Chains A and B, each alone.
Chain A
Amino acid sequence: MWQTGSIGAEPAGQSVVEGGPIPYKPEKLAKKKENYENRRTNDPEAKCYMPGVPRANYMPYPFQIVQSPKGILMVYEFASANRFVNMGKPQEAGSDTWMGTNNGKWEGDTLVVDVTGLNGLAWFDRAGDYASNNLHVVERYTRTDPYHIRYEATIEDPSVFTKPWKISMPLYKVVDKNAQLLDFKCVEFSEELLYGQFKKQTSSTK
Protein backbone atom coordinates (compact mmCIF):
# COMPACT_ATOMS: atom_id res chain seq x y z
CA MET A 1 0.00 0.00 0.00
CA TRP A 2 1.16 3.49 -0.80
CA GLN A 3 2.20 5.28 2.36
CA THR A 4 1.15 8.91 2.19
CA GLY A 5 3.20 10.16 5.11
CA SER A 6 1.94 13.51 6.33
CA ILE A 7 0.34 14.21 2.92
CA GLY A 8 -2.73 12.25 3.99
CA ALA A 9 -3.04 14.03 7.32
CA GLU A 10 -5.58 16.77 7.94
CA PRO A 11 -4.80 20.07 9.64
CA ALA A 12 -7.02 21.33 12.45
CA GLY A 13 -9.95 23.58 11.62
CA GLN A 14 -12.45 25.51 13.70
CA SER A 15 -16.15 24.76 13.57
CA VAL A 16 -18.38 26.60 11.11
CA VAL A 17 -21.52 25.51 12.97
CA GLU A 18 -23.24 28.39 14.73
CA GLY A 19 -24.29 28.03 18.38
CA GLY A 20 -22.55 24.84 19.45
CA PRO A 21 -22.66 21.22 18.37
CA ILE A 22 -24.89 19.84 15.63
CA PRO A 23 -28.23 19.09 17.35
CA TYR A 24 -28.50 15.36 16.59
CA LYS A 25 -31.38 13.44 18.07
CA PRO A 26 -29.73 11.28 20.76
CA GLU A 27 -30.52 8.04 18.92
CA LYS A 28 -28.95 9.39 15.70
CA LEU A 29 -25.49 10.01 17.17
CA ALA A 30 -24.42 6.36 16.95
CA LYS A 31 -24.61 6.48 13.16
CA LYS A 32 -22.40 9.57 13.06
CA LYS A 33 -19.84 7.78 15.27
CA GLU A 34 -19.98 4.71 13.07
CA ASN A 35 -19.44 6.87 9.99
CA TYR A 36 -16.45 8.48 11.67
CA GLU A 37 -14.90 5.14 12.63
CA ASN A 38 -15.23 3.89 9.06
CA ARG A 39 -14.55 7.16 7.28
CA ARG A 40 -11.55 5.91 5.32
CA THR A 41 -13.71 3.49 3.35
CA ASN A 42 -17.26 4.82 3.81
CA ASP A 43 -16.94 8.55 3.23
CA PRO A 44 -18.69 9.26 -0.09
CA GLU A 45 -15.79 11.62 -0.87
CA ALA A 46 -13.37 8.67 -0.73
CA LYS A 47 -15.67 6.84 -3.15
CA CYS A 48 -15.73 9.83 -5.52
CA TYR A 49 -19.47 10.23 -5.15
CA MET A 50 -21.09 13.58 -5.82
CA PRO A 51 -20.65 15.61 -2.65
CA GLY A 52 -24.21 16.89 -2.17
CA VAL A 53 -25.24 20.22 -0.68
CA PRO A 54 -23.81 22.01 1.25
CA ARG A 55 -20.57 19.95 1.31
CA ALA A 56 -19.73 20.69 -2.33
CA ASN A 57 -19.21 24.35 -1.41
CA TYR A 58 -16.49 23.87 1.20
CA MET A 59 -14.40 21.00 -0.11
CA PRO A 60 -10.78 21.77 -0.94
CA TYR A 61 -11.61 22.05 -4.65
CA PRO A 62 -12.68 25.15 -6.57
CA PHE A 63 -16.10 25.69 -8.08
CA GLN A 64 -17.34 28.24 -10.55
CA ILE A 65 -20.61 30.13 -10.39
CA VAL A 66 -22.02 30.60 -13.87
CA GLN A 67 -24.59 33.35 -13.82
CA SER A 68 -26.63 33.32 -17.00
CA PRO A 69 -29.95 34.97 -17.83
CA LYS A 70 -31.44 31.44 -17.86
CA GLY A 71 -30.35 30.50 -14.36
CA ILE A 72 -27.28 29.85 -12.27
CA LEU A 73 -25.05 26.82 -12.70
CA MET A 74 -22.64 25.78 -9.98
CA VAL A 75 -19.81 23.82 -11.57
CA TYR A 76 -17.62 21.85 -9.17
CA GLU A 77 -14.18 20.53 -9.98
CA PHE A 78 -14.65 17.55 -7.66
CA ALA A 79 -16.22 14.63 -9.56
CA SER A 80 -17.50 17.07 -12.23
CA ALA A 81 -20.54 17.57 -10.01
CA ASN A 82 -22.84 20.42 -10.95
CA ARG A 83 -26.22 21.82 -10.04
CA PHE A 84 -28.49 24.14 -11.93
CA VAL A 85 -30.30 26.73 -9.81
CA ASN A 86 -33.68 27.47 -11.31
CA MET A 87 -34.37 31.20 -10.94
CA GLY A 88 -37.85 31.01 -12.45
CA LYS A 89 -41.06 29.59 -11.06
CA PRO A 90 -40.05 27.18 -8.25
CA GLN A 91 -40.08 23.54 -9.28
CA GLU A 92 -40.95 20.62 -7.04
CA ALA A 93 -38.29 17.98 -6.55
CA GLY A 94 -38.72 14.90 -8.71
CA SER A 95 -36.72 11.87 -7.64
CA ASP A 96 -34.07 12.30 -4.96
CA THR A 97 -30.61 13.20 -6.24
CA TRP A 98 -27.12 13.84 -4.86
CA MET A 99 -27.09 17.54 -5.75
CA GLY A 100 -30.79 18.19 -5.09
CA THR A 101 -33.48 20.29 -6.69
CA ASN A 102 -32.33 23.90 -6.50
CA ASN A 103 -34.72 26.85 -6.61
CA GLY A 104 -33.19 30.31 -6.31
CA LYS A 105 -34.40 33.86 -5.76
CA TRP A 106 -32.91 37.23 -4.95
CA GLU A 107 -33.48 38.93 -1.58
CA GLY A 108 -31.84 42.27 -2.19
CA ASP A 109 -28.24 41.43 -3.07
CA THR A 110 -28.44 37.98 -1.52
CA LEU A 111 -28.96 34.84 -3.58
CA VAL A 112 -31.20 32.46 -1.64
CA VAL A 113 -31.20 28.86 -2.85
CA ASP A 114 -33.74 26.41 -1.51
CA VAL A 115 -32.51 22.83 -1.89
CA THR A 116 -34.82 19.83 -1.55
CA GLY A 117 -34.92 16.37 -3.10
CA LEU A 118 -31.52 15.45 -1.63
CA ASN A 119 -31.00 11.72 -1.36
CA GLY A 120 -29.40 11.75 2.10
CA LEU A 121 -26.43 9.65 0.95
CA ALA A 122 -23.92 12.50 1.00
CA TRP A 123 -22.11 13.46 4.20
CA PHE A 124 -21.45 16.97 5.49
CA ASP A 125 -17.76 16.39 6.14
CA ARG A 126 -14.95 13.88 6.66
CA ALA A 127 -16.10 13.43 10.27
CA GLY A 128 -19.16 11.47 9.22
CA ASP A 129 -21.85 14.08 9.90
CA TYR A 130 -24.89 13.08 7.91
CA ALA A 131 -28.58 13.63 7.25
CA SER A 132 -31.47 11.71 5.69
CA ASN A 133 -33.42 12.23 2.50
CA ASN A 134 -35.69 14.58 4.46
CA LEU A 135 -32.85 17.10 4.37
CA HIS A 136 -33.80 20.64 3.43
CA VAL A 137 -31.04 23.20 2.94
CA VAL A 138 -31.54 26.93 2.51
CA GLU A 139 -28.39 28.67 1.33
CA ARG A 140 -27.66 32.38 1.33
CA TYR A 141 -24.89 33.85 -0.82
CA THR A 142 -24.01 37.50 -0.14
CA ARG A 143 -21.09 39.20 -1.83
CA THR A 144 -19.35 41.31 0.78
CA ASP A 145 -16.56 42.70 -1.43
CA PRO A 146 -15.03 41.88 -4.85
CA TYR A 147 -13.23 38.83 -3.47
CA HIS A 148 -15.58 37.34 -0.86
CA ILE A 149 -19.02 35.83 -0.57
CA ARG A 150 -20.57 35.24 2.83
CA TYR A 151 -22.05 31.75 2.61
CA GLU A 152 -24.70 30.58 5.04
CA ALA A 153 -26.67 27.36 5.00
CA THR A 154 -29.58 26.49 7.25
CA ILE A 155 -29.93 22.75 7.62
CA GLU A 156 -33.19 21.16 8.53
CA ASP A 157 -33.94 17.44 8.81
CA PRO A 158 -36.54 16.47 11.42
CA SER A 159 -35.60 12.78 11.12
CA VAL A 160 -32.04 13.37 12.27
CA PHE A 161 -31.85 16.71 14.11
CA THR A 162 -33.87 18.17 17.00
CA LYS A 163 -33.93 21.59 15.35
CA PRO A 164 -32.60 23.44 12.29
CA TRP A 165 -28.95 24.51 12.51
CA LYS A 166 -26.78 26.85 10.59
CA ILE A 167 -23.29 27.02 9.16
CA SER A 168 -21.60 30.17 7.89
CA MET A 169 -18.24 30.87 6.32
CA PRO A 170 -16.63 33.11 3.75
CA LEU A 171 -16.05 31.82 0.21
CA TYR A 172 -12.83 33.19 -1.27
CA LYS A 173 -12.66 34.10 -4.92
CA VAL A 174 -9.83 32.44 -6.83
CA VAL A 175 -7.87 35.38 -8.20
CA ASP A 176 -4.98 33.53 -9.85
CA LYS A 177 -4.14 34.78 -13.29
CA ASN A 178 -5.85 32.51 -15.85
CA ALA A 179 -7.74 30.65 -13.11
CA GLN A 180 -9.87 27.90 -14.59
CA LEU A 181 -11.48 24.68 -13.46
CA LEU A 182 -9.52 21.57 -14.38
CA ASP A 183 -10.74 17.99 -14.53
CA PHE A 184 -10.83 16.14 -11.25
CA LYS A 185 -12.36 12.91 -12.47
CA CYS A 186 -11.81 11.01 -9.27
CA VAL A 187 -13.48 7.71 -10.22
CA GLU A 188 -10.10 6.20 -11.05
CA PHE A 189 -8.84 6.98 -7.55
CA SER A 190 -11.81 5.20 -5.99
CA GLU A 191 -11.86 2.00 -8.04
CA GLU A 192 -9.33 0.04 -5.98
CA LEU A 193 -11.22 0.95 -2.81
CA LEU A 194 -14.59 0.01 -4.31
CA TYR A 195 -13.75 -2.94 -6.56
CA GLY A 196 -10.23 -4.09 -5.63
CA GLN A 197 -11.64 -7.05 -3.72
CA PHE A 198 -13.20 -8.37 -6.95
CA LYS A 199 -10.05 -8.29 -9.07
CA LYS A 200 -8.49 -11.49 -10.31
CA GLN A 201 -5.75 -12.46 -7.89
CA THR A 202 -2.62 -13.61 -9.64
CA SER A 203 0.95 -13.97 -8.45
CA SER A 204 1.75 -10.78 -10.32
CA THR A 205 -1.35 -8.79 -9.33
CA LYS A 206 -0.73 -5.19 -10.16
Chain B
Amino acid sequence: MSIEVRVPTVLRTHTDGEKRVTVEGATLAEAIDDLEARYPGLGDRLRDDEGNLARFVNVYVNDEDVRFLGGQQTELADGDQIAILPAVAGG
Protein backbone atom coordinates (compact mmCIF):
# COMPACT_ATOMS: atom_id res chain seq x y z
CA MET B 1 0.00 0.00 0.00
CA SER B 2 1.61 3.18 -1.19
CA ILE B 3 0.77 6.49 0.48
CA GLU B 4 2.14 9.81 -0.67
CA VAL B 5 3.09 12.35 1.99
CA ARG B 6 3.38 16.04 1.16
CA VAL B 7 6.11 17.46 3.35
CA PRO B 8 5.98 21.19 4.16
CA THR B 9 9.11 23.31 3.64
CA VAL B 10 9.67 23.66 7.36
CA LEU B 11 9.97 19.86 7.80
CA ARG B 12 12.01 19.09 4.69
CA THR B 13 15.22 19.00 6.67
CA HIS B 14 14.08 15.50 7.62
CA THR B 15 13.64 14.40 4.00
CA ASP B 16 16.75 15.88 2.39
CA GLY B 17 14.61 18.56 0.83
CA GLU B 18 12.09 16.18 -0.76
CA LYS B 19 8.59 17.70 -1.12
CA ARG B 20 6.85 14.38 -1.49
CA VAL B 21 7.77 11.04 -0.01
CA THR B 22 6.12 7.64 -0.05
CA VAL B 23 5.25 5.49 2.95
CA GLU B 24 3.30 2.31 3.64
CA GLY B 25 0.50 1.78 6.12
CA ALA B 26 -3.10 0.59 6.43
CA THR B 27 -3.87 3.27 8.98
CA LEU B 28 -2.54 6.74 9.67
CA ALA B 29 -0.77 5.42 12.78
CA GLU B 30 1.10 2.85 10.67
CA ALA B 31 1.93 5.45 8.07
CA ILE B 32 3.37 7.78 10.73
CA ASP B 33 5.41 4.87 12.16
CA ASP B 34 6.76 4.15 8.68
CA LEU B 35 7.47 7.84 8.13
CA GLU B 36 9.47 7.90 11.36
CA ALA B 37 11.36 4.74 10.34
CA ARG B 38 12.30 6.17 6.95
CA TYR B 39 12.87 9.78 8.02
CA PRO B 40 13.87 9.78 11.68
CA GLY B 41 12.43 12.72 13.56
CA LEU B 42 9.68 13.48 11.07
CA GLY B 43 7.07 11.05 12.38
CA ASP B 44 7.80 12.19 15.90
CA ARG B 45 6.93 15.77 14.94
CA LEU B 46 3.37 14.62 14.40
CA ARG B 47 2.84 13.19 17.87
CA ASP B 48 3.14 14.41 21.42
CA ASP B 49 4.94 12.56 24.21
CA GLU B 50 1.90 10.35 24.84
CA GLY B 51 1.73 9.28 21.22
CA ASN B 52 -1.35 11.36 20.42
CA LEU B 53 -1.47 13.61 17.39
CA ALA B 54 0.38 16.79 18.26
CA ARG B 55 -1.94 19.67 19.01
CA PHE B 56 -0.21 22.23 16.83
CA VAL B 57 0.36 20.12 13.75
CA ASN B 58 -2.41 19.61 11.22
CA VAL B 59 -2.48 16.24 9.49
CA TYR B 60 -4.76 15.67 6.51
CA VAL B 61 -5.76 12.60 4.53
CA ASN B 62 -6.92 13.46 1.04
CA ASP B 63 -7.26 17.09 2.13
CA GLU B 64 -9.50 16.26 5.11
CA ASP B 65 -8.33 17.17 8.60
CA VAL B 66 -7.86 13.81 10.35
CA ARG B 67 -9.38 15.20 13.54
CA PHE B 68 -12.66 14.98 11.64
CA LEU B 69 -11.86 11.53 10.26
CA GLY B 70 -10.65 8.79 12.56
CA GLY B 71 -7.54 10.42 13.98
CA GLN B 72 -4.64 7.98 13.89
CA GLN B 73 -7.09 5.12 13.29
CA THR B 74 -8.05 6.66 9.94
CA GLU B 75 -7.86 3.88 7.37
CA LEU B 76 -5.74 4.41 4.31
CA ALA B 77 -6.08 3.02 0.82
CA ASP B 78 -3.49 2.69 -1.91
CA GLY B 79 -2.90 6.09 -3.52
CA ASP B 80 -4.15 8.13 -0.57
CA GLN B 81 -2.33 11.34 0.16
CA ILE B 82 -1.26 12.64 3.54
CA ALA B 83 -0.49 16.32 4.03
CA ILE B 84 1.20 17.86 7.05
CA LEU B 85 1.15 21.52 8.08
CA PRO B 86 2.32 22.98 11.36
CA ALA B 87 -0.64 24.94 12.72
CA VAL B 88 -0.55 28.71 12.40
CA ALA B 89 -1.78 30.28 15.59
CA GLY B 90 -0.90 33.00 18.02
CA GLY B 91 -2.30 35.75 20.13
Do A and B actually bind? no
